[in-house]
Amino acid sequence: AALPALVLGAGLLVAAWRWLRGAARPVRGGSMRGKTVIITGANSGLGRAAAAELLRMRARVIMGCRDRARAERAAREIRAEVGERADGAGELVVRELDLASLRSVRAFCHRVLQEESRLDVLINNAGVFQCPYMKTEDGFEMQFGVNHLGHFLLTNLLLGLLKNSAPSRIVVVSSKLYKYGEINFEDLNSEISYNKSFCYSRSKLANILFARELARRLEGTGVTVNSLHPGIVRTNLGRHVNIPLLAKPLFNLVSWAFFKTPLEGAQTSIYLASSPDVEGVSGKYFGDCKEEELLPKAMDDLVARKLWDISEVMVGLLK
């Protein structure tokens, strides 16, 4: 009898914790009517949650996704959740974008530049997490290639449109795990050694250094750049992480109790994309909609500039 009582008690505590955490969720921002937003990886997890919320705020949301069929299905579901507006404000558009292919990134940007008259917000959200060693279409280690290089090229190709649409914003989704990463210029592509956890952390550190250097380069243009960590969120990002079969029920209970939902995890992305509170704020790092301090290695401007220069060559912006 003690075990069922213990489980019931734990369940009640968990339910109370989740209710309190939900009550403390940041309030949604104001209208995004007339604004165009691109979100990478918008068919699931954080990106999907952000797309739904920004659609509610009447933005035109372009979902940049690798799997077009899954993205179209997610878009239909989001439209059903949010509801069509009688005045036609707010729109979801699906566009194919594979960040593991520089060719796909260029094709996506070419179409955006042909079809869109403005771009108010770019949210670099998509990511690969602790996958086995594999390479992108262009021969880059997958996590560094998708999480950093794909977004690096995407952002650079869309910079002109963002500047012409100023004031505009770039939001870079990183992770607290950047703390365990190092930028090793002798082995950026993990040809010498590969550790899936280290390489993920390195790609997330690269995200922050990229945002910092880009913010410096964009001073005075009216385009702001900020990075963030969403916290620990229940998404399919961890699909490559192996959990023993017997431990899965406990893991599922713990994740349900203590991990953020995708909507909770997306709040900082939504805040940085839409809130008047951060208008003009650039080059900062946020968590839970508040500015946070970074470790010195994430503020190393010499490393940030060197990483930028090498990335330009790797993605073909410079020969």
Domains of the chain, first to last: 29-315 (3.40.50.720)
Q: Which residues are catalytic?
A: 200
DSSP for 118-129, written as a single string: ---EEEE-----
The pLDDT value given to residue 244: 52
Confidence of residue 20 (pLDDT cuts 50, 70, 90): low
Confidence of residue 237 (pLDDT cuts 50, 70, 90): very low
Question: Contact 162/211 with Cβ under 8 angstroms?
Answer: no
Is residue 85 pLDDT above 90, yes or no?
no
Q: Provide the residue type at 205 as one letter.
A: L
C-alpha dihedral sign at 305, 311, 312, 318: positive
- Whether cis (ω within 30° of 0) applies to the bond prior to 167 is yes
Give the model confidence (pLDDT) of 41-74 as tens digits. 999 999 999 999 999 999 999 999 999 999 999 9
Give the model confidence (pLDDT) of 144-182 as tens digits. 999 999 999 999 999 999 999 999 999 999 999 999 999
Biggest CA–CA distance in the chain, Å, is 71
The pLDDT value given to residue 259: 58
User: Which residues lie closer than 8 Å to 268 by C-beta, 6 or more apart?
Assistant: 228, 229, 230, 286, 287, 288, 289
Give the model confidence (pLDDT) of 104-134 as tens digits. 999 999 999 999 999 999 999 999 998 999 9
Separation of alpha carbons 299 and 208, rounded Å: 8
* Ramachandran sector of residue 89 (left: φ over 0; alpha: ψ -120 to 50; beta: rest): beta
Cα of 115 vs its chain's centroid, Å: 24
Place of tokens 């179409």: 111
* Ramachandran sector of residue 301 (left: φ over 0; alpha: ψ -120 to 50; beta: rest): alpha
Confidence of residue 83 (pLDDT cuts 50, 70, 90): confident
Question: Contact 205/298 with Cβ under 8 angstroms?
Answer: yes
Q: Provide the residue type at 271 as one letter.
A: Y
Give the model confidence (pLDDT) of 249-304 as tens digits. 544 444 444 458 999 999 999 999 999 999 999 999 999 999 999 999 999 999 99
Is residue 4 pLDDT above 50, yes or no?
no
Q: For the whole model, what pTM was predicted?
A: 0.87
DSSP for 76-102, written as a single string: HHHHHHH---TT---EEEEEE--TT-H
Question: Contact 257/12 with Cβ under 8 angstroms?
Answer: no
Separation of alpha carbons 319 and 308, rounded Å: 14
